[in-house]
Structure 1
């Protein structure tokens, strides 16, 4: 997960560096917002890493056998326990308080009733309380798409593809970003994002439909950004 996250962060920063100087004022503002979010994510993990290192150093001092454990060969692939996923949905589990679960459930209720402004309030509350809750961020991004708040939706989907390694959510993130670029008539970027979404999760059909729409009828776009997928969650 962390390897994917930092690889995605580096890719995003490389893209910003490549296009920043030639970007217009509005694009530079978007890049500035992305840089701020990347820095926030980076700072958070640096702080957590330092906290881990301090705890580990104390533990190592108290247990003389740790050096021999660290010197032993790495476990084989068959010995590594896979990450826990929900058996019902195939989604990664995450620990959250009962209060936060209620907030997300309420947001999902509003979402399914097409009450997107109210849904956005609930999911925004959840993301502020637990930034690593990708389920809430996914719903928040989709809700902002329905409200046509493209910049805000883009920000959340860019963070989502950095923070998750769950294929379906990655694909939904890339696909939504492709839709945003298509709305802005940046067809080349949109098509690249749709292909990336398809490569990540071929069973998710919206990206190919969107790619076909961009190529055949760019002036009368019919875009699917994955919203209906959430009704099953």
Structure 2
């Protein structure tokens, strides 16, 4: 599992290194955001490893203090520094909290806890979000598919899966997940994103009148969601090619 993850991260970093000297402006900013995500993933892995090593070292120390319980394994040589390193990690938690983390948004995390979804569901969603932010959509779809198999009614998983499929131009599959999301959720913003995306799918197929209806539903669901009105205007003007906003920017803020 970790070998695959690090191989993917290394491939993405190699791609960024090749592109970085040749771009500037908005494209350079986009690469910087991807670097931030990679750094956050790396920091998170290191932190969890150090905390585990500290816990493992404490366990071996407890065994040594109980002579009646034979210790059959040697303490790994690197655990001696784990506790000290972990304290450094804990001391910098305030700074790390400001760093972009590849994890579920706080509101979504509370919902996962409230609905008692398996912990593995949250893990797969977190990975899927991380890949989504890196625009590695096929990897994101794989992780989110696992989350949905575990928790078929998980709204967050359907939301990210649907948007991932939109970026992969798998319109029919995306439409199914957005319809499921709309049927499940009471969140105004998520309903707006769902209706807006359904409008985009209809617009792609040049069903512009139906697309406009969906954009109006999106605006009614959440008037603060600006993409729906922009898309509605685009459909009404119909000046050549359509320039549509799927709403994915709402998922990476």
CA contact (8 A) 2:108 2:156 kept: no
CA positional deviation for 1:92:
6.7
Equivalent residues, number: 147
2:135 equivalent to 1:114: yes
CA contact (8 A) 1:104 1:126 kept: yes
CA distance in 2, matches of 1:87, 1:125: 19
- The structure, 1 or 2, with the larger RCO (C-alpha pairs under 8 Å, 6+ apart) is 1
- Out of 175, 181, 187, the residue aligned to residue 208 of structure 2 is 187
CA distance in 1, matches of 2:224, 2:108: 14
Return closer, same or farther for 1:176/1:101 CA change in 2, 3 Å cut-off.
Answer: same
Greater Rg, structure 1 or structure 2? Answer: 2
Q: Normalising by structure 2, report the TM-score.
A: 0.55
2:239 equivalent to 1:221: no
Return closer, same or farther for 1:92/1:222 CA change in 2, 3 Å cut-off.
Answer: farther
- Out of 165, 168, 174, the residue aligned to residue 186 of structure 2 is 165
Q: Normalising by structure 1, report the TM-score.
A: 0.60
Which stretch has the larger CA shift, 129-138 or 87-96?
87-96
Find the counterpart in structure 2 of residue 18 from structure 1: none
- Out of 171, 185, 189, the residue aligned to residue 150 of structure 1 is 171
Find the counterpart in structure 1 of residue 118 from structure 2: 97
Return closer, same or farther for 1:90/1:122 CA change in 2, 3 Å cut-off.
Answer: closer
Over the residues paired in the alignment, what is the CA RMSD in angstroms? 1.9
Unaligned runs of 5+ in 1: 1-85
CA distance in 1, matches of 2:240, 2:110: 38
